[in-house]
Amino acid sequence: MEKYKVIMDVDTGTDDAVALLMAMASDQIDLLGVCSVNGNRNIELTTDNTLRVIDFVGKGDEVKVYKGCALPLVSTLNKDRRPLIPYGDKYFDGQENHGNHLDLPETQLKPQEKCAVSYYIDTLMASEGDITLIAVGPLTNIACAMRAEPRICGKIKEMIIMGASLEEGNSGPSQRAEFNFWADPEAAEIVLQSGCKITLVPLDVTHKTCIHMDEALAFEASGTKAGYAAATFIKRRIGNYETWSKNWHVDEAGAPIHDALCVAGLLDRSVFTEIVSCNMKMDISGGTADGVSLVNFKDMSRDLDGIFRPAVKNVNLVMKADREKFAKIMGDLVTK
């Protein structure tokens, strides 16, 4: 069986953690490396959380972590644009999906000396164009690497990205943006316009593919470490969606485990039941819609010169996914 060569980019985070558990458990994935990035928490916490997950399932000798960017590219330079980033210990109020440290034992594992941006450039440039990136945090590391060595864009087989929202968002003053893209909109725009093959899993879809409490309990009952850890994170998220996040239109029996859907979709593309090729741009204006992803489903676009041109279909946008199949893939991996 040929394996997918994968690099993951994570801001771990409870749902990133489940995605990692699935990737590490899969026989179909050769996990070349994991890059941490500022996002759900500051870079020290997301890196430590990533290492905790890897250590907990005994993969510390196999799976290497490369510490990534501590801040978005530019969005924090204007103090009003992203006042709470980076999220640190002080932000945590107990009513939240992630916490500061994940509910896992402390780890002695350390990240590699090489930073994530150098790791991307070195690994992709030495590759044969056969590496898939699963990016489930702000896209700062990847955008930096693309700016420093644009030739890596021709070396990426595919990027499966959790990001963007079509209608319902979870970030920004209007709650119209999605967190990963909102946190570093310039980075998202660089990646979107990179010419790479992008499969994009938006919030609208992850909100409709929740994992349920009975499924989490079954993961836990399996007695595996991955099942225990996944259940711990999913239960926390379900509890939180019942209270703090109750305004979001998620399936009440569960909670979205956004990032894990990207791993399931890599392993079985039929999890994505509807995909539309379209054009996407970011609003990076700093105004009310700052960080919102703008989709053009038409075949034409019209630039400021007034001329109609064929729209560049830069993303394969996932519109629907199969919840049952997703839950089954997750369960099969974390309970084995």
Binding mask 249-288 for Ca ion (x = CB under 5 A): ----------x-----------------------------
Which tokens in the block code for residue 326?
């997703």
In our burial notation (b when 16+ CB lie closer than 10 A, e otherwise), range 154-163 reads ebbbbbbbbb
How many Cα atoms sit within 13 Å of 279 on the Cβ side?
A: 12
Please identify, among the stretches 174-182, 269-277, 283-291, 315-323, the one whose residues bind ligand BDR according to the rule CB under 6 A.
174-182
Q: What one-letter code names the amino acid at 64?
A: K
- Residue 46 sits in the site that holds ligand BDR (CB under 6 A): no
What is the CB neighbour count within 10 angstroms for residue 285?
Answer: 11
Q: How far is the CB of 150 from ligand BDR (least distance, A)?
A: 26
Helix axes 116-125, 140-148, angle to 10 degrees: 60
Binds ligand BDR by CB under 6 A, chosen from 17, 54, 117, 136 = 136
Q: Transcribe 64-94 into DSSP letters.
A: -EE---SS-SSTTTSTTTSTTPSP-GGG--S
Please identify, among the stretches 176-184, 232-240, 308-316, 321-329, the one whose residues bind ligand BDR according to the rule CB under 6 A.
176-184
121 vs 139, beta carbon nearer ligand BDR = 139
Q: What are phi and psi of 223, to 5 degrees?
A: 80, 0
- Residue 170 sits in the site that holds ligand BDR (CB under 6 A): yes
Binds Ca ion by CB under 5 A, chosen from 35, 69, 136, 216 = 136
How many residues of this chain interact with ligand BDR, rule: CB under 6 A?
A: 13
Binds ligand BDR by CB under 6 A, chosen from 26, 36, 38, 40 = 40
The DSSP 8-state label assigned to residue 274 in this structure reads: E
- Residue 25 sits in the site that holds Ca ion (CB under 5 A): no
Q: How far is the CB of 262 from ligand BDR (least distance, A)?
A: 9
Q: What one-letter code names the amino acid at 309?
A: R
Which tokens in the block code for residue 304?
């400021």
Q: How far is the C-alpha of 261 from the C-alpha of 326, rounded, in Å?
A: 7
Binds Ca ion by CB under 5 A, chosen from 4, 8, 9, 16 = 16
What is the CB neighbour count within 10 angstroms for residue 250?
Answer: 20
Q: How far is the C-alpha of 200 from the C-alpha of 318, rounded, in Å?
A: 6
Q: How far is the CB of 16 from Ca ion (least distance, A)?
A: 4
What is the torsional sign of CA 236, 242, 246, 250?
A: positive
For the chain, what's the residue count?
336
Please identify, among the stretches 178-186, 222-230, 273-281, 321-329, the one whose residues bind ligand BDR according to the rule CB under 6 A.
178-186
The verdict on whether 11 is a catalytic residue reads yes
Binds ligand BDR by CB under 6 A, chosen from 184, 204, 215, 259 = 259
Provide the binding-site residues for Ca ion, judged by CB under 5 A.
Answer: 11, 13, 16, 136-137, 259
Provide the binding-site residues for ligand BDR, judged by CB under 6 A.
Answer: 13, 15-16, 40, 136, 162, 170, 178-180, 203, 258-259
Question: What are the catalytic residues?
Answer: 11
